[in-house]
């Protein structure tokens, strides 16, 4: 798989640059229901479109299955902005931390 293959699969399924497994699966189901040849008639274009949709879904599913998640601190903070903000301002007296008790 190349990065262009990945981008093409994302485009075929109409996904944003970031999507969860659940969102990928939901989008695949929507497209299959909308474009399946059994529902619209059996033309060569329908079969080709379904083939492309299923191939894109398989590629993204394989990519997600083999993706190595990063559990380091920086990645965690990027993925959890609320925690980053809480940690950043927890000792700031203006935001309720680190000041004198009983003000």
Q: 3-67, which class in CATH?
A: mainly alpha
Rg of the chain over Cα atoms, rounded to whole angstroms, equals 22
Nearest to 25 by CA among 69, 58, 49, 3: 58
Contact 15, 57 (CB under 8 A): no
pLDDT digits (tens, 9 = 90+) for 3-29: 999 999 999 999 998 899 999 999 999
Q: Give, to the nearest 10 degrees, the angle between helix 21-35 and helix 3-13.
A: 60
- pTM surpassing 0.85? no
pLDDT digits (tens, 9 = 90+) for 23-75: 999 999 999 998 887 776 677 787 899 999 999 999 999 999 988 878 899 98
List the domain boundaries for the chain. Answer: 3-67, 70-103
For 16, phi and psi rounded to 5 degrees?
A: -75, 175
């Amino acid at each position: 798989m190349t990065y262009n293959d990945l981008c093409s699969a994302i485009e075929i399924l109409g996904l944003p640059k970031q999507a969860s497994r659940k969102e990928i699966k939901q989008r695949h189901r929507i497209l299959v229901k909308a474009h399946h040849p059994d529902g619209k008639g059996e033309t060569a274009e329908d079969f080709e479109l379904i083939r492309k949709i299923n191939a894109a879904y398989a590629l993204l599913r394989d990519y997600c299955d083999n993706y190595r998640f990063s559990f380091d601190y920086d990645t965690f903070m990027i993925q959890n902005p609320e925690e980053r903000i809480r940690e950043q301002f927890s000792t700031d007296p203006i935001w309720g931390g680190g000041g004198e008790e009983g003000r």
